[in-house]
Amino acid sequence: MVRASPNFNAFDAGEFAPITEGRTDLSRYGFACRILENFIPRVVGPAARRPGTSFIASTRFPVQDALLVRFEYSTEQAYVLEFGHLYVRFYRNDGPLLEATKPISGASQTNPVVLTILNHGYANGEDIEVSGIGGMTQLNGRRFRVANVNTNTVELTDQHGSPVNGAGYSGYTSGGTAGRVYTLTTTYQEGDLNQLKFAQSADILYIAHTEYVPRKLQRYGATNWVLSQIDFQDGPYLPVNNAQTTLTPSAASGAGITISSALSVAITGAANNGAGAIRITSANHGWKTGDKIDITGVLGTTEANATWTVSRVNANTYDLNGSSFANAYVSGGTAKPHVFEPTDLGRLVRIQHASSWGYAKITAYSSAVSVTADVLSNFGGTTASSSWRLGLYSQGGGYPSCVTFYEGRLFWGGCPLTPTRVDGSMSSNYETFSPSSTAAVVADDNAVAYPLDSGDVNNVLWMKDDEKGLLVGTKGGEWVVRANTLNGALTPTNVKATRATTYGSYEGSQPVRTGKDVIFVQRKRRKIRNLNYTYEIDGFNAGDLTILSGHIGRLEFGQLAFQSEPEGWVWMTRGDGQLPVLTYDRDEQKIGWSRQILGGFQDVARRRPPIVRSVCTIPDPNDARDEVWLIVQRMINGRVERYVELFAPEWENSDDQEQAFYVDSGLIFDGRQAQTLQPGTGATAKGTTGVDFTAGGDVFKPSDVGREISMRWFDYAALDPEDPAVQGAWISAKARITAFGSPTQVTATILAAWPSLDLVPANGWRLSASALSNLWHLEGETISVNAEGATHPDIVVANGRAPLTRAVGYAVAGLKYNSRLQTMRIEAGAVDGTAQGKVKRINEVTFRVLQSLGGEAGPDFTSMVPLKYRTTTIPMGEAPPIGDDDCRVLWEKGYETKGRIALRQSAPFPMTVIAVLPQVTTYDKG
């Protein structure tokens, strides 16, 4: 029997898979957790509770998926784009972009509510946000869909199209504005969203999808964006024709010319090739294997009259691939080249005459050998030419699957016609892909076209720039495209592609860059790998970042997003709706997984948590951190909803405790008033009665008697009695209104002294409220509240309101979530080898926490006791402070072999676990 006191002083290895629980020999075992939910391991060791999410808006269609996309012009000008079914919307400065507001002049107490907005210009199905209405305040701060639109009126429905019943609302008195949610129409449907790939240059976002002409989304102003098809110039092209087919332009320049082929080869026989297919006899036919032809006029073997690709047998015969011989040949027949398709509208065609190249764009289809086109660069003649090439992109052949920038070129890749090929634009000319000059000279700045020759055909799925080359991910492996010469620039004639690894990628996810690593989802979606250059092998490796946490990917990874500040975290969606987070720092050799499970539910039975459908990051408006944005599918009041939500900032030591945001889909309720306030004589002494408070404008009402006036101020002279090095504290000043004098003056009793009689600026003071409002997005839900820095009993939301047991001037309210940490089995105290499998007893555990309040601990999550923090003198009316402490818990488990320690935090406050310090007695066998 040996007593030991192991020190769990770091959790940066994150959540290990159950399969590793016997691997006490691993160097990271002592820093790992069996469960790490809604905590995130920090690079330096602690496990910090993740902050909650704030509700931003509903997506346009609550029952359809949407995709969040990052758009960063600069750290000061960053947007989140919401791509959904046939639309895109925009968010900036932590809110949606709205068009210029229009004044509201009326609102009816009817079902549905009818708003009067003169000459509003809205259309049925559009969304507006309403604010500032007097009287019918139930409409303020909400988003509605308009219906039955007339010139001056609209009816209000919710996002599901259900009418908004205003029969029980207060009567409209005055004012209010409506702003239309800024929305662009797109052609992308819901099923296309996870295949969209993006690359940004300044104000332009390039968009790739194999079924759509590549597009660009260009910003001209906050609410002035234009989505347009890219008008590619002079390429990319398929390889130069190497068959006998010629093309003849009817003119060298101009619009509406004809481009045609006159080649026709006579057929003299058709027979069974011995394998059941049709073999054509045609003297000196000139076709080669793979050529596409149209056969007409064959008598007897009429089944040959169709479009085929051929397999050359010899100079006089060829087989029709996929054919079946049925009828004896009688006579006749001709074969013509199949050059054009009805889907070639908009396709480019380049033709050479002598040493001069010109190109045109097809505008109309006549037949497989004739089209109408507009000349964009003059042809060198009007004679037949066998030196020609068709554009790579077309409706029939498809479009590129991905896009990126590299060495001053815009690269596209993964077009279905050439799925292993990458195409780079001319240098610094992103939409021009000229393979040569018009004089057939290939210069270094001409376009690059290069296939990944691997023996198999694995589509290009993503591309990322790197100092060592253009990194390319395919279904079958990862490649590096770069110059063929050391330290040379990539050019059309100086390029090579080498396979780096053979893991393959998932097509529905774009990789993210973390420092010098590119992190991607492996093909089967169960592993995350980091592609990076390794000096020792002078090549790239792609290590498995899930090797010790394989259970994390069991339900398939999806979209990735990288947050660089405050630390390096990779956020990712998962098939079951959880949000895995990877703490990753290659330099410090830190890899730690955790799982974020949002508060709330996805089902009516309230058994399964909500589903995170999309995630992205942008710099916050103050450039202090990276923000993490989500689309979350929830079940609210019996209906499926999809919300755009944003993770709140982490609480830090100098922050006001009442601003701690540790609820999900939450909102802040702030009773600040937009007028100045003058405290009267006696306000600086607690308990003084009959103190006058005078506002700079109309604020007060007779019904305000009993409400509280308050302000928060930071006392720089205050010292922490436990730690004098910590200076400064947030202090509340409060007064309860006892008499109404006028809209600008009331009398009150001082509950907490005011710091001075100085004039309080506008928005520097608050009036309390007895209920929280505008919680329509959580209708019917039970919410958790941080009420002026203190916990409040949970409340059920009804009619958008949550009644309080005590009035407050500031609150953070939303859905509760549990943060759970459970250690691995203790490995300590054994004399003869390992402590695993031996009986042990934990006597007590000390939890060292930082910036924490609340929490409970125990041997498992069913037997827990609250953490007890040190007691200090707390002024009457003030909440217990968020602080640092060693919380000692006497253990009641008794004897066991597992020896795990569990910790849970569900209060709306932060918690950072620095160390778990148990005292354990281990009993050796024998």
At 623 the pLDDT is 83
Q: Are strands 177-180 and 127-131 parallel, antiparallel or unpaired?
A: antiparallel
How does pLDDT run across 555-584, given as a tens digit for each residue?
999 999 999 999 999 999 999 999 999 999
The highest-confidence range among 712-726, 813-827, 892-906, by mean pLDDT, is: 813-827
Instruction: State in Å, rounded, how far the first CA of the chain is from the last one.
Output: 11
**Average pLDDT value over all residues in the chain:** 95
Residue 622: which pLDDT band, with cuts at 50, 70 and 90?
confident
What token pair was written down for 580? Answer: 């895995």
582: phi > 0 → left, psi -120 to 50 → alpha, else beta; which?
beta
> Could you give the angle at the alpha carbon of 410 between the alpha carbons of 408 and 412, nearest 5°?
150
Residue 926: which pLDDT band, with cuts at 50, 70 and 90?
very low
- Which residues, listed in sequence order, are joined to residue 642 by a DSSP beta bridge? 633
* 720 vs 189: which has the higher pLDDT: 189
Distance CA 823, CA 819 (A): 14
Kindly tell me if the per-residue pLDDT of 316 is higher than 50. Answer: yes
How does pLDDT run across 696-708, given as a tens digit for each residue?
999 999 999 999 9
Kindly tell me if the per-residue pLDDT of 61 is higher than 50. Answer: yes
Kindly tell me if the per-residue pLDDT of 877 is higher than 60. Answer: no
Residue 873 buriedness (CB in 10 A; 0-12 / 13-18 / 19+): exposed
At 772 the pLDDT is 96
Q: Is 28 helix (H, G, I), strand (E, B) or coil?
A: coil
Residue 171 buriedness (CB in 10 A; 0-12 / 13-18 / 19+): exposed
How does pLDDT run across 457-475, given as a tens digit for each residue?
889 999 999 999 999 999 9
Q: Name residue, tokens 């003056």.
A: 745
DSSP code of residue 419 = T
At 75 the pLDDT is 85
At 439 the pLDDT is 95
How does pLDDT run across 350-362, given as a tens digit for each residue?
999 999 999 999 9
Which residue type is seen at 366?
S
DSSP code of residue 507 = T
How does pLDDT run across 134-159, given as a tens digit for each residue?
999 999 999 999 999 999 999 999 99
At 876 the pLDDT is 58
At 721 the pLDDT is 58
> Could you give the angle at the alpha carbon of 10 between the alpha carbons of 8 and 14, nearest 5°?
110
How does pLDDT run across 183-229, given as a tens digit for each residue?
999 999 999 999 999 999 999 999 999 999 999 999 999 999 999 99
At 725 the pLDDT is 54
- Once rounded to an integer, what is the mean pLDDT over residues 101-107? 97
At 456 the pLDDT is 81
At 871 the pLDDT is 63
Report the percentage of the chain scoring pLDDT > 70.
98
Report the percentage of the chain scoring pLDDT > 90.
91
